[in-house]
Structures are given as structure tokens and as C-alpha cells.
Amino acid sequence: MEYKIVVPPLGESVVEGTIVKWLKAEGEKVKVDEPLVEIMTDKINIEIPSPYEGTMIKHLSPADTVVEIGAEIAIMEVEGEAIKTKAFQTTAEDGKEHIPGEQETARPSEEFVGTTAHHEKMGIHADKEAIDSGIKAVKSSPIVRRLAREHFIDLRLVHGTGRDGRVSKEDVINYINARHTIDKKKPDFIWPDTEVEEVIPITGVRKVISEHMTKAAFTIPHVTTFDDCDMSDLVAWRRKYVDRIEAEHGVRITYMPFFVKAVIHAAKKFPWINATFDGDNLRVKKNFNIGFAVARENSLIVPVVRNCEQKSILQIAMEMKELGEKANADKLDIKDIQGGTFTITNAGMFGATASTPIIAHPQVAILGVHKITDKPVARDGEIVIRPILNFGLSFDHRVIDGGYAVQFLRKMIEYLEEPESWLIGVI
Amino acid sequence: MKKTSYIEAITETLFEEMERDERVFLIGEDIGVYGGVFKATKGLLDRFGPERVIDSPISEVYIAGGSVGAAMVGMKPVPEIQFADFITPAMDQLIQQAAKMRYRTGGQWTCPMTVRVCCGGDVGGGLYHSQINEQWFFSQPGLIVVMPATPYDAKGLLRSAIRGDDPVIYFEHKRLYRWIKEDLPEEDFTVPIGKAAVRKEGSDLTILSYGLMYHRSLQAAESLDKKGISAEVIDLRTLRPWDMETIMESVKKTSRALLVQEGSKTGGVMAEISATITEEVFDYLDAPITRVCGIDVPAIPFAPPMEHFFLPNADKIVTAATRLMEY
């Protein structure tokens, strides 16, 4: 019997996705829960597990097609009664809302370990050339050659214990088991001495980042402008209140919420900064959903604080703290990373004094925040030491002119240099 | 349950089947008054009389030909060939008539007969009382060939053979007659034709054999266990049609096959099985298929050291298995 495969719900407010690639070819046998297709949503890509055991008959939508939730994308042939997966249920057994996504697919189940898809995902399989060379170079039996092909093994890497160093079936199985152990505690895989390079396939979230960056960098004509901000007053203000705020509200306030507010203030005069551009229309946003980049172990993610124009500095600080914790725990929901209108990235926390950030497409500007450094500056003809922060603002030169961007940045800095003029009314 | 030897199992079955079905009769050399040279038919003449337990002249062609004729007209003959060594005069009747009857009459005629053939060495019998020639019949479509290794199978396979509609060559190994005893259930049971028995499960290699060689293989497997080699031991039981499924599943699991056969190596049952394993599950093999067989000389020698040199035994099987594992 034939069954249609439909795009399952991919998270709140997600209405469509793009097919990145089919993981099961037409005619291929498929087990329940094996990944069928990779679909990319806004920033997370999801491998859709097979709801049935059977054979992939036809792909109805090729790679790179945009598909809506619920769209029929493939036909599978299922023998007998269809075995259904639980992967599509939107309410988990504990009664909580459950969204299939990165967290589920990133951690392979025990039975998934060892499959082709898994090895591809883990990036530890040999390529065809290496497999064939290994088979030619090593004395091996039919079952060993079969296992080498099935499990993507370069037999030259397997220690042979048979007569004259022959690789036996047991040797290969030991190698596979050892490799699985490594899989489970990745990424400390040790390459043999014969390897002169380490090949890391760019997949998953990293792949999406790569694609987004390429698109942004080569679609948007970037220009970055720099300007110094004298942080004396704000540093003094923060120093005075930081402990008290923490004691009362449980959040150790950073400068980031102040930058958010400064952006909003400056954008009142230069509204085009807070916008998206699709090549035809500039959509100037009336709300400020500010993304802030969070560096994780092996990737980057940009949670969004929504409607900052309606929130106090304290509220923004608390939300940033919460989103940052979720990001580090890999618990962000897809809604947490969507709908940004402007982005702030802080390379200063790692020590940078300048950087030229890439705009988060389709936004039109990004603010780079750098280290506050005590520097000698001239004030009233005297050299004094002041805490200086060098801001970098990258902007989309198709829609934002240089003068506009420079003035926006200057306006923002003026606010930050005179916090007392607006802080009282806000906090 | 009753402790029963291999030969007692055969005698009992003959009694039971003759009681059960009056069409069943016996014919053979010395089977009546003398009770058979190995006493397999002892007491049957007294019970069933000379019309159903026929002492034949020393003529295997008559024993076989008479049985074919009787089978064609509705009887169920169970002829005995006293020694497999002397079966050649019966070959024309068995191969040209019995094996082809159903086929050449388009199923209108059948030839339901069970030829009991006493075979095998390791008894000091010399050239003409030790032969085992199952491969001649194994290669003949139209025949069923069985060789039980245990009293249970001796009984169960003999029942299946007599109750069936086709000619069966039933090889009984004379070395097993009184050596092997087993508790047998009282109730009526049969052993299906064409089904091998996995007697011992193992993971490292499959040892396949039948008849006396099954016991040698099991003995070898126990020694191998002590060396840390886990052998799966399969008793083929039916040689034709042989149980391809059980054997292929086992070889797929272990990736190594050791085939043990009492008769001389060339053109034997294990040559055929070896070729089939290569055809069917080549991709699963981790070492060459290995055979331990009788050697290619015209017959089993009489001198005891030479007889032992000819025959496979547990030591030879262990040596071959060890080499196979080291491959």
C-alpha cells in the first residue's frame, strides 16, 4: 500500500521550509524513524524521520524546493500494516508540547548508531576512493569487503590479527565497535598518523550558518563604520547600581541592554536602520526585535528579544539572561531565534577592539560591540584617561547611505555618553 | 521414555509400521530366519510371517527390482541392502526405475519404497564391509536420501520414509547401531524430511556433518570450546533434499564453514554444499570453505592404522577448525 509523506509541524510560527536534500533515494528501503529528508527552516535544520517501514517510491518535491507544512513530498510503499512512528506526535507522553527539531535529531538513538546516515552525520566514514584502496591493499575476505563497504571503512586503518596480518571479520567488528564508542563520546576522535589532514564535513547547524553567511556576505554590499564612545558616565552609573540591581532582581546587568535602548533611541531619528530588505522592498519595522549573538562550543546562534521598545532595561537584561542560558543548554525554541529586526554582536567579550560584522540577512544593519579600554583622549586641551568603546556598524549600502549610518551611530553614542538624560525615565 | 539404541529404534519402527499398515513388507538377505546380520529384523518373521518378511536370494537386483514392482502396484516395500558395498547391482532398478517413476509417468505412478542401506566404516570391516556411497544417490533427482545420526532420528526418519510416497534411500550407519542410546518418547513422532538439526549453537564457525561424522564433529566442538572457539554443529539428517536455509543462516552468522564427510572427498555431498554456499552467501564468508573428508582411495583399508588414517575423526576436525580460525 502506498502512503504519502507530508511535512510535519516544524515548530510554532513555522509555515514552510526548504528541502535541503533527500536522505533516502527512490527505490531505497527505509526503516521507521530513519531520517528521510533534511528540511531547513529559518535557522534550524531538521531531519524528518520516516513514519513508516517500507520503500521510498518517489520524491514529489526535489531538493531546494520550498514546501509548506502539510505538503505531500514523497510516496512510500508499505507492505502489510503500516508501522507508525511516534516522532510526529506533537504532544509527548508527559503531556508537554513537543516540537521535533534539532535536539531530537542531533542525538542518534542506539539503534541508529552504525547506520550510513549516522556515519555521514558524524563525519567519520571513509570516502569511496579510500574504501576501494583499502580493499585492494589489504588481504581480506568477502565478508570483510562487504563490511568495509557497508560501514565506510578504509581497511588500512583496521588492525589485522589473521595469518600474515590478514584482516578478519572479527577485526572489522572490533574496529566498528571501537568507532561507535568514539561516536558516543565525540569529538575526540584520534586520526591515525598516516592522515595529513582532518576532514570535518560541514553539516547540520554549521552548514546552515555557512549558507546564511555566504548569502549575507555576497548579497549585501557591506560597509562598516566605526566610532568611539566615551563610556565614563555609563561605567560609573553601572558601577553604582549593579550590585543593588542584582540583589533586588537577581540579574547582574551588563551594558548590552543599554546598547539596545540606545539603538532604539537613535532609530527614532534614523528608522531605516531597523528594517529588512528583500531586494525589492525595504520593510521598516515599528517594533524592535533585537538579536544578540551567542557563541556556543561549535556554533553561533542569535536569540531575539522581542518588542524591546516596550520593555525596560531591566526586563531586557532578564530576557537576555534567560535566552543566553537556553542557548547554552541547547534548549532554544525555533520562535526564540526568529523575527529579528536588528542585531548586536559582542566581539569585545573575547577582547576585540574592532570588527566588521556580517549582517543577518534580510536585516540591513548590525552593531558590533568591542572591548572597553582605558585610553588617553583629549578633553578641553588636556590629555585624560577615559574608558573608550569602539563601535562598528555594518550596514547594507543598497538601502542605507553612508551619512545616514554614520549619523545613526553618532546619535546612538551621544545617548550612551549622556545616560542621565534618558535613564531616569526608562528604568 | 525408554532408553533405546539406534538399531533398536529401527527394529521397533519396523514392527510398528508393519502393524500400522499391512502394505508394508520387508525383503532382504538373511533378514528372516537369521534376523539380519546385525539383528535389525530380529523377531519380525515370527510376528508377521514369511509373506511379509522375505528372505531373498543373494541378489540385490532382485531385492530392488522386486520392491519397485511391488511399490508400483500399491505395496510399501522396505528392502534391506545388507552392506552398502553391495548395492551396485541394484543401481539400475533404483536409478533408472525408482527415481524416475513419478517423473516419467507424469505423477500417475509412484514408487513408495524405503531402501534400508547399512553403511559406514570405523568397524574394522575392510574394503567390502565399510563403504559409504551416499553421494551416488545424493546426485540423483527423484530420490530422497537420509542418514540419521541418533536413535530419535533413526525412528522419526524411518517413519517419515515409510509413510511417504517416494523412494527413500535410508542409510543406517553400522558404527552407530549399538554405540548410541537415547531416551525416546513412547508416542508416535516423525522427523520431517529435508530439515537439518542445529545440535549445538556457536558463533565462530559452522561444522556441518551427518551420520557418524556428526558425533565426531560434536566431540571436536567440545574440544574447540575449551580452546575458546565457539563452533555451531549442524546435523544434516536429510542429504537430499538438503536443508539449504538452515545451513545458509548458520554460515551467514559464523562466516566460516567446515564440512565433514566420511566418504572420500572428490564429488561428495560436501562438494555440492560447498559450491552452493559460495553461490548463495559468498559475501558473508571470512575464510575458504574447508572440508575434512575420507581420502581419495578406492575403499576404506582393512589395517586399523590405515582405516584411522582414512577416516576423519575429532582430532582432524579440531586441527582443521583451528587452522580455519587462524586464517
With pLDDT > 70 as the criterion, what percentage of chain A qualifies?
82
Best residue in A139, A143, A150 to probe B by mutation, most B CBs within 10 Å? Answer: A143
| pLDDT for the residue B251 | 97
Cβ separation of A143 and B255 shorter than 8 Å? yes
Average pLDDT, chain A: 82
Candidate CATH numbers 3.40.50.970, 3.30.1330.10, 3.40.50.300, 3.30.930.20; the one for domain B2-184:
3.40.50.970
Best residue in A169, A173, A174 to probe B by mutation, most B CBs within 10 Å? Answer: A169
**Which residue from A minimizes the CA distance to B204?**
A170
Is pLDDT larger for residue A114 or for residue A289? A289
For residues A132-158, give the mean pLDDT: 87
Three-state DSSP state, A45:
strand
Q: Does the structure show a pLDDT above 90 at B14?
A: yes
Q: Domain spanning B197-326: which CATH class is it, in words?
A: alpha beta
Q: Does the structure show a pLDDT above 60 at A194?
A: no
Say if B322 is an interface residue toward chain A (CB within 8 Å): no
| pLDDT for the residue A425 | 53
**ipTM entry:** 0.71
DSSP A97: B
Cβ separation of A142 and B283 shorter than 8 Å? yes
Nearest to B285 among A142, A162, A166 (CB): A142
**Per-residue pLDDT tens over the stretch A99-117:** 333 333 333 334 344 444 5
Answer yes or no: same fold for B2-184 and B197-326. yes
Q: Is A248 exposed, middle or buried, given 0-12, 13-18 or 19+ CB atoms closer than 10 A? A: exposed
Residues of A in contact with B282 (CB under 8 A): 142
Say if B248 is an interface residue toward chain A (CB within 8 Å): no
For residues A39-57, give the mean pLDDT: 79
Task: List the catalytic residue out of A228, A233, A330, A397.
Answer: A397
Residues of A in contact with B255 (CB under 8 A): 141, 143, 169
Query: Whole-angstrom Cα distance, residue B263 to residue A365?
Result: 88
For residues A378-401, give the mean pLDDT: 94
Query: Which cell numbers hold the place of A243?
Result: 550590585
For residues B193-217, give the mean pLDDT: 97
Q: Does the structure show a pLDDT above 50 at B231?
A: yes
CB–CB of B204/B178 below 8 Å? no
Query: Whole-angstrom Cα distance, residue A413 to residue B6?
Result: 104
**Per-residue pLDDT tens over the stretch B173-203:** 999 999 999 999 999 999 999 999 999 999 9
Q: Does the structure show a pLDDT above 90 at A209?
A: no
Query: What are chain A's domains?
Result: 2-122 (2.40.50.100), 128-199 (4.10.320.10), 206-426 (3.30.559.10)
**Per-residue pLDDT tens over the stretch A277-286:** 988 999 999 9
**Per-residue pLDDT tens over the stretch A73-100:** 998 888 765 555 444 433 334 444 333 3
Query: Which cell numbers hold the place of B9?
Result: 529404534
Average pLDDT, chain B: 96
| pLDDT for the residue A181 | 62
Best residue in A139, A140, A141, A155 to probe B by mutation, most B CBs within 10 Å? Answer: A141
| pLDDT for the residue A81 | 59
Q: Does the structure show a pLDDT above 80 at A229?
A: yes
Q: Give the domain ranges of chain B.
A: 2-184, 197-326
Residue A63's pLDDT band (cuts 50, 70, 90): confident
| pLDDT for the residue A99 | 39
Cβ separation of B255 and A141 shorter than 8 Å? yes
**Per-residue pLDDT tens over the stretch B35-77:** 999 999 999 999 999 999 999 999 999 999 999 999 999 999 9
State the pairing for strand pair A372-379/A382-396. antiparallel
Query: Which cell numbers hold the place of A128?
Result: 569511496
DSSP assignment of B212-267 equals: HHHHHHHHHHHHHHHTT--EEEEE--EEET--HHHHHHHHHHHS-EEEEEEEESTT
Which residues are registered as beta bridge partners of B206?
Answer: B232, B257
**Which residue from A minimizes the CA distance to B288?**
A141
**Per-residue pLDDT tens over the stretch A317-339:** 999 999 998 888 878 888 888 89
B255 to chain A, minimum CA–CA distance in Å?
A: 7
For residues B124-138, give the mean pLDDT: 95
Is pLDDT larger for residue A338 or for residue B255? B255
| pLDDT for the residue A105 | 36
Say if B280 is an interface residue toward chain A (CB within 8 Å): no
Query: How many Cβ pairs within 8 Å bridge chains A and B?
Result: 27
**Per-residue pLDDT tens over the stretch B295-326:** 999 999 999 999 999 999 999 999 999 999 98
| pLDDT for the residue B7 | 97
Residues of B in contact with A142 (CB under 8 A): 282-286
Residues of B in contact with A168 (CB under 8 A): 286-287, 327
CA distances from B166 to A108, B13, B102, B108, B191 (A): 56, 18, 8, 13, 16
Cβ separation of A144 and B286 shorter than 8 Å? yes
Tell me the residue type at A318.
M
**Per-residue pLDDT tens over the stretch B74-117:** 999 999 999 999 999 999 999 999 999 999 999 999 999 999 99
Residue A11's pLDDT band (cuts 50, 70, 90): low
A67-71, A102-106, A388-392: which has the highest mean pLDDT? A388-392
DSSP assignment of A298-333 equals: S-EE--EE--GGGS-HHHHHHHHHHHHHHHHTT---
What's the count of helices (H) and strands (E) in chain A, helices before strands?
A: 11, 19
Tell me the residue type at A52.
Y
A89 to chain B, minimum CA–CA distance in Å?
A: 38
DSSP assignment of A3-26 equals: EEEEPPP-STT--EEEEEEESS-T
- The contact set of A with B (CB < 8 A) is 141-144, 146, 162-163, 166, 168-169
